[in-house]
Amino acid sequence: MEIYLDNSATTKPYPKVCESMVRAMEEDYYNPSSIYRDGVLVQKKIERYREYIANTLKCSSKEILFTSGGTESINTAIFSVKKSKKKHIITSMIEHPATLQAMKKMEELGFDVTYIKPLKNGCVTADEVLKFITENTCLVSLMAVNNELGSKTDVVKIATQVKKTNPNIIVHIDAVQAYLKLKLFVNENVIDFLSASGHKIHGPKGIGILYHRNGVKLSPHIVGGGQEMNFRSGTENVPGIFGLGTAVEEFYPHMDDKIKYIQTVKEYLKDNLVKKIPYIKILSPQDSVCHILNVSFLGVRGEVLLHSLESEGICVSTGSACSSKKAGSYVLGALEFTKQEKDGAIRFSLSEYNTIEEVDIVVKALEKNVNMIRTVMNFGKGRHV
């Protein structure tokens, strides 16, 4: 029996998602750009999914672009200011690698990038962002939810304050870990771009969303046949779009109940870890997003514990699946956790598929493996942590 607690890395697709993708390949395999009936019908289905996704963000369907995933969406938003005469960008030190690597490229192009150091809870404040805005600032790019700690930044408040300061500054929000995990709408017209990914919400890999506010300049970096309203050429990924759309249709109507359930399971996990395993520290803030819990098991190497759990069929992680496997967590490093806290960190990320019964099994396995590793490391004897 496998217990999967790495849902921030990817999620298991809903059965209906798989069914819709198979139908797309077996029955709706026509090119959406074709002008005969079957191609037109496929295009209409794509537009129906686009409309539904737009409704979840409270925007126009004309503002939703389909991409190959969160990374492309993030890159597209950031590179949209390449030709700006203003050359200053604001982001944070703990963004996803897709953002940080894109920022390096912008620096190579002559842009000056300010990397804000978040509070120790992983949040960025509006005051901190405003402090760094200059007359030369062209872009603010921040994540709504940190993928390692689950910290929630009030990005709507930040975007509102940024636009009050200078309405011409472009605001991009990385909502890959936030979309459908918290209520995030763009109808206040203070967010210019928002990125999301299919495989984080029980949809398929290889498909993403980019909200692009109407009127905001965007030069396509993939050119060709003019698909996606001429912003992103290439024959549409019909199975991916159908799978993504189906995942949103499955999740969104029950969003509040699903969030509440996942939060309940997470709190049960946290309470039992605190109760049953000594010398641990909860690294996630108290108000973290429903599905992410980062815990440090002091005196234990996170990677060693991960593989110990893996041998018992339990999947967890030590940080972002998209960052280097060799380097330690740059997120925890930026937030000044101690070396011991960073070394022992494990990220548990849950979904609606996880149960209280699974948590009981995981906690027992953790008790056993943490004690075993600490015994080998001679940890906890005669010391206070």
Which is catalytic among the residues 59, 123, 315, 322? 322
The 3-class secondary structure across 202-236, one letter per residue, is CCCCCCEEEEECCCCCCCCCCCCCCCCCCCCCCCC
322 part of the active site:
yes
* Rounded CA separation 372/385 (Å): 18
Distance CA 70, CA 13 (A): 17
Concatenating the DSSP letter of every residue in 120-139 gives TTS---HHHHHHH--TTEEE
> CB-based contacts of 196: which residues, under 8 Å, 6+ apart?
70, 73, 175, 176, 178, 179, 208, 209, 211
Determine how β-strand 137-143 pairs with β-strand 170-174.
parallel
Smallest CA-to-CA distance from 145 within 92, 72, 205 is with 92
Measured in Å, how far apart are the chain's first and last C-alpha atoms? 35
Residue 305 Cα distances to 268, 295, 296, 318, 326, angstroms = 21, 12, 11, 9, 16
| Helix axes of 97-108 and 70-79: crossing angle, nearest 10 degrees | 30
Euclidean distance between CA atoms 8 and 350, whole angstroms: 8
What sections of the chain are H helices per DSSP? 15-26, 37-57, 70-79, 97-108, 126-132, 155-165, 238-251, 255-276, 302-310, 330-334, 339-343, 356-376
Distance of CA 195 to the CA centre of its chain: 9
Two tokens, residue 64 = 């939703």
Q: How many CB atoms lie within 10 A of CB 172?
A: 29
Strand partners, 194: 173, 211
Contact criterion met (CB below 8 Å) for 163 and 190: yes
Q: Which residues belong to the active site?
A: 322
